Amino acid sequence: MSDIPLPASQVDLAFSTLLESHPDAICLLDPKGTIVRINSVFASRFGRKPHECVGADIYDLISNIRQMPDIALRRKKQCEEVLRLGKKIEFEDVRGSYITRISINPVKSTDNEISLLIIICQDISEQKHLEQALCENETRFNHAIKLTRTGVWEWDLKTNENFWSPELWQLYGMELNRQPPSFELWAGTVHPDDREMAIRAVESAVNNETELNLEYRVSYPDGSTHWLMSRGLPLRNANGRAIRYFGIVIDITDRKHIEDELSEYQKRMEFALEKSHVGVWDLDLQDHKAIRTIEHARIFGYVNNLQEWSMEKFLDHIVEEDRDRIRSLIRRSIEIRQDFSFECRICRSDGEIRWIAATGALKFDNDGATSHIMGVVKDITELKQSLELIIEGDSRMHYIMAATNAGLWEIESGSSLCVWSEEIWGLYGIEPYSCKPSYENWLKTIIPSDRERVDRSAREAERAGIEFNGIWRVQNADGTIRWLLSKGRPFKDPEGRVLKYVGIVIDVTDRKKEELDKQQLETQLRRTRRLETIGTLAGGIAHDFNNILTPILGYSEMGLSDFPPEDPMHEYFSEIMHAANRAQTLIAQILTFSRSEEVSRSVVNVQSIIEEALKLLRPSIPSTITIEQSIQENCRNILADPSQIHQVIVNLCANAFQAMQQTVGVIRIALKEIVSDADLRKSTPQLTESDYLLLSISDTGSGMDESVMEHIFEPFFTTKGKNRGTGLGLSVVHGIVTGCKGAITVESTPGSGTTFSIYLPVINEKIEVPDDEKPFMKGSSRILLVDDEESGTRMMKIMLTKLGFSVQTSNSPKEAIARFRQNPENFDLVITDLTMPEMNGTDLAIEIHKLNSGIPIILLTGYEKDLGDILSLRKFGISRCLKKPVKMALLPSIINEVISGATG
């Protein structure tokens, strides 16, 4: 080959064009490092154009322009090495993910001296990354092969050469490379029973150039047998002909064992279903085709399964009277995505009418749509006939059931599914067929407080195989509570095993209510008698205590009048009187808490009753409990019995601190006046459009759940232990509040405390408070004072004398009558104690009036209840009743008023 000489200019132009169009960075240097030629790719590394780089020292450009003096020095040494050795050098420069292959090539002149160096920089980053990824993929593939114990094979159809991976030798049970791999060697590993089949499968795949799919057994030298699965793909040449096969082999021994076990299990299940006469079905809602067991077909009168079976085919077998009900039930179940169960009659293929019980469960696809219905069906004709015989055999029982609102139920042993008669749905307070009749759904109808007890009783009866007897409560949709009584009889096989329970449920609400009413009346009677006893005891204590207080208060009051305020004695008597008043208040509180007299409403200041109640309660409440008050002082009054309002506050506060026993807590009492707006009247319909006092009592105790709050105002309902409460406290509170035309509400959360809110209507009347600071009035009347208490008699005589009255005393009613009989005209008034040993005050009044019917009589007592009604006391000739101890400041006006009334 000879070169065609070209002009130097054309050669130079061609070289420049080749240099500039080359994708790699190329630079020509003279031996000193001066740039002779450079393309744009290389020049761009220095931020210059090619002609700006020609003549420059490349080492200076690298050092100064690119700021790489170390690299410049290294490149200079590499170029000097090429000049010295006269050989090309090549190396890779790696900077992060950027990789460059650099070659320095010497160019010799005609005298064999190196005249130029050609530097070529090639970007090989992508190539290197691809090589690395390929290496990593190969590593992962090899790891996957090893971890999954997958064998790899390759078969060259032209040379008949085979390649087996090390894992494949292990799968064949052979030593690695014991002999060259071959088709014949493989065939020898196949179990004799599978060998012919396996060879035919391979030959067929090769002859037809198709994919190989093969499962077979191999025999290991140790005598064990293993299942292998082989998959192979043909690799084709340019003409599309298979030239080799590439494939894998995996061990499927464990899978085969599982398949065998599943097959055996399926056979056992089919046998069990057949013998128990239960048919299984699976309906595809997309193509409306069903898969059924043979027993399913037999239930409908067929010897073999029909090729076509659908929902409509099933409905056609249901008798006409039941068909619409079952169709609606299934359609409704699909709509609400709920499983279902039912009983109905079918007409078999031979025309026989039979009863079946069916249960269906919905299956859903990945989008949540109902795709399948699977279920079981059982012939229950004999069961139905037995039940009918039981009912028909005793006609009187049929009438009793109808009259007593009863229902029948049935449940098979070991199953939760039930059969309920039509009446049971109403007894359980649920819509007919709104749920699946089952043991679990029955338990849900029982109120929570009874559920565990009844469940335990039913399970114990089943375990023992004995009759079930249960009584429980259910709650209707309208909130009413009803009592149900149930009895269930076990039916057993000849070996004594319970097959099922059949039973009856009866509504016994009226009977239970009578029993509860009787118990409540008896309990209330016992409590009433107990309260009467307490009241009697308290009355006696009050009488004696007030007799003791009478001289203390009387002498204190006289002492206060005898000494001016600046005298120390005045302060002493004031403290004595203050202490005595506190004692008087205490005994009044005890009487208020214990008495049970007829309600007598008057104008009541609730603020003062709260203060009195807390004085009584504070000593009995643990110091760990804080009482906080928020009382609006300018609240108006209410019309009520003060003792009842006192009882309301005490009861609620007692409940509050009992809810916080053995813990640190807070009782909050708040009182304010409110206007009942529309929202309040909507939530509390007992209120009218008026002004109310809102009394709220809160605690930080254990709180209550909804089931407890539903019953807290019911008489005798209590959450306390045995003998720890009557259950009447809150019902009494409720009665008092509603009797005042008010309302009471409760809010509570378990663990967060409870708040009772009491609404009481306000009135505009005020309480007239007597002015104890008025100067004492004087009197001059003649008084006969009768009291068996000598100390009290002496004090009263001194007090009345200081007030200007003339007083004769007697500690004996009989002696007083004798003295009065001698000179009845010497007395203007008789003051007598009520309770005395010889004769009580009313009898004394009768005797005195026999001697002088016009003389006024004032009756004193230490027990307020003994005062009674003044109209009933007037028949004994009593003009006025006063409660001990009587204040000195009030006596003159009362005495003068009584005497004036008698003489006027």
CATH of the domain at 696: 3.30.565.10
Residue 139 has pLDDT above 70, yes or no: no
Burial (Cβ within 10 Å: 0-12, 13-18, ≥19) of residue 243: middle
DSSP-derived pairing of the beta strands 637-640 and 665-675: unpaired
Q: Which strand (E) or helix (H) includes residue 188?
A: helix 183-189
In a domain, 807, yes or no: yes
The two three-digit tokens of residue 750, written as one number: 């378990």
**Could you give the angle at which helices 642-658 and 606-617 cross, rounded to 10 degrees?**
50
CATH code of the domain in which 788 resides: 3.40.50.2300
The two three-digit tokens of residue 63, written as one number: 């050092």
Predicted TM-score of the model (pTM): 0.34
In this structure, of 224-228, 657-661, 824-828, the range with the lowest mean pLDDT score is 657-661
Half-sphere exposure of 391 (CA within 13 A, CB side): 19
Residue 456 has pLDDT above 90, yes or no: yes
The two three-digit tokens of residue 799, written as one number: 């007090």
Are 757 and 613 members of one domain?
yes
Q: How confident is the model at residue 772 (pLDDT cuts 50, 70, 90)?
A: very low
d(CA 864, CA 866): 5
Q: How confident is the model at residue 67 (pLDDT cuts 50, 70, 90)?
A: confident
At residue 191, φ and ψ (nearest 5 deg) are: -55, 140
d(CA 467, CA 474): 22
Domain that holds residue 471: 390-507
List the beta bridge partners of residue 225.
219
Q: How would you label 870-901 residue by residue, b for 16+ Cβ within 10 Å and e otherwise?
A: eeebeebbbbbbbbbbbbbbebbebbbebbee
Residue 727 has pLDDT above 60, yes or no: no
DSSP-derived pairing of the beta strands 242-251 and 151-156: antiparallel
DSSP-derived pairing of the beta strands 665-675 and 418-420: unpaired
Name residues whose C-beta falls within 8 Å of residue 730's C-beta, 6 or more positions apart in sequence: 651, 655, 712, 713
Are 728 and 799 members of one domain?
no
Q: Which amino acid is at 516?
A: L
Are 302 and 397 members of one domain?
no
In a domain, 269, yes or no: no
pLDDT digits (tens, 9 = 90+) for 675-715: 988 888 888 888 888 899 999 999 998 888 887 877 777 66
Q: Which of 554, 628, 627 is nearest to 889 (CA)?
A: 554
In a domain, 677, yes or no: yes
* E-assigned strand segments in 326-368: 340-347, 353-364
Identify whether the C-beta of residue 840 lies closer than 8 Å to the C-beta of residue 818.
Answer: no
List the beta bridge partners of residue 897.
none
Are 637 and 753 members of one domain?
yes
Q: Which of 537, 543, 536, 538 is nearest to 860 (CA)?
A: 543
pLDDT digits (tens, 9 = 90+) for 579-610: 877 777 666 655 554 544 445 678 889 998 89
Q: How confident is the model at residue 529 (pLDDT cuts 50, 70, 90)?
A: low
* E-assigned strand segments in 220-288: 225-236, 242-251, 278-284
Are 753 and 875 members of one domain?
no
DSSP-assigned letter for residue 635: P
In a domain, 337, yes or no: yes
**Best mean pLDDT range from 288-292, 305-309, 544-548, 671-675:** 671-675
CATH code of the domain in which 25 resides: 3.30.450.20
Integer-rounded Cα Rg, in Å, for the chain is: 56
d(CA 557, CA 559): 5
Instruction: Please count the other Cβ atoms lying within 10 Å of the Cβ belonging to residue 744.
Output: 22
Q: Which amino acid is at 796?
A: M
Are 181 and 284 members of one domain?
no
Are 753 and 797 members of one domain?
no
Identify whether the C-beta of residue 26 lies closer than 8 Å to the C-beta of residue 42.
Answer: yes
Identify whether the C-beta of residue 358 lies closer than 8 Å to the C-beta of residue 329.
Answer: no
Are 104 and 80 members of one domain?
yes
Peptide bond into 885 cis (omega under 30): yes
Name residues whose C-beta falls within 8 Å of residue 280's C-beta, 6 or more positions apart in sequence: 273, 292, 293, 295, 296, 374, 375, 376
d(CA 79, CA 75): 6
- Among the candidates 507, 527, 543, a domain finishes at 507
DSSP codes joined into one string, 641-653? -HHHHHHHHHHHH
- Among the candidates 486, 507, 528, a domain finishes at 507
Are 13 and 106 members of one domain?
yes
Q: Which of 285, 290, 272, 378 is nearest to 331 (CA)?
A: 285
Average model confidence (pLDDT) across the chain:
83
Q: How confident is the model at residue 75 (pLDDT cuts 50, 70, 90)?
A: confident
The two three-digit tokens of residue 460, written as one number: 């114990």
Q: Which residue has the higher pLDDT, 527 or 116?
A: 116
Q: How confident is the model at residue 487 (pLDDT cuts 50, 70, 90)?
A: very high
Q: Which residue has the higher pLDDT, 715 or 228?
A: 228
Q: How confident is the model at residue 259 (pLDDT cuts 50, 70, 90)?
A: confident
DSSP codes joined into one string, 127-185? HHHHHHHHHHHHHHHHHHHHHTT-EEEEEETTT--EEE-HHHHHHTT--TTSS---HHH
In this structure, of 381-390, 642-651, 783-792, 835-844, the range with the lowest mean pLDDT score is 381-390
In a domain, 91, yes or no: yes
857-861 β-sheet, strand order:
806-810, 782-786, 829-833, 857-861, 880-883
In a domain, 708, yes or no: yes
Residue 866 has pLDDT above 50, yes or no: yes
At residue 412, φ and ψ (nearest 5 deg) are: -80, 150
d(CA 891, CA 887): 7
Are 245 and 318 members of one domain?
no
Name residues whose C-beta falls within 8 Å of residue 208's C-beta, 6 or more positions apart in sequence: none
Q: How far is CA 309 from CA 291, 298, 305, 362, 563, in A?
A: 8, 13, 9, 18, 116
Are 358 and 394 members of one domain?
no
Q: What is the number of structural domains in the chain?
A: 6
- To the nearest 5 percent, what fractions of the chain are helix, strand and coil? 45, 25, 30
Task: Give the mean model confidence (pLDDT) for residues 631-655.
Answer: 88
Task: Give the mean model confidence (pLDDT) for residues 166-188.
Answer: 86
Q: Which strand (E) or helix (H) includes residue 558?
A: helix 509-562
Task: Give the mean model confidence (pLDDT) for residues 329-357.
Answer: 90
DSSP codes joined into one string, 453-495? HHHHHHHHHHHHT--EEEEEEEE-TTS-EEEEEEEEEEEE-TT
In a domain, 814, yes or no: yes
d(CA 740, CA 744): 11
DSSP-derived pairing of the beta strands 481-492 and 468-475: antiparallel
Residue 822 has pLDDT above 80, yes or no: yes
Give the pLDDT of residue 593: 47
- Among the candidates 454, 487, 507, a domain finishes at 507
Give the pLDDT of residue 596: 41
Residue 5 has pLDDT above 70, yes or no: no
End-to-end Cα spacing for the chain: 170
Percent with pLDDT over 70 in the chain: 85
DSSP-assigned letter for residue 34: B
Map residue 90 onto helix, strand or coil: strand
d(CA 508, CA 498): 28
Are 369 and 394 members of one domain?
no
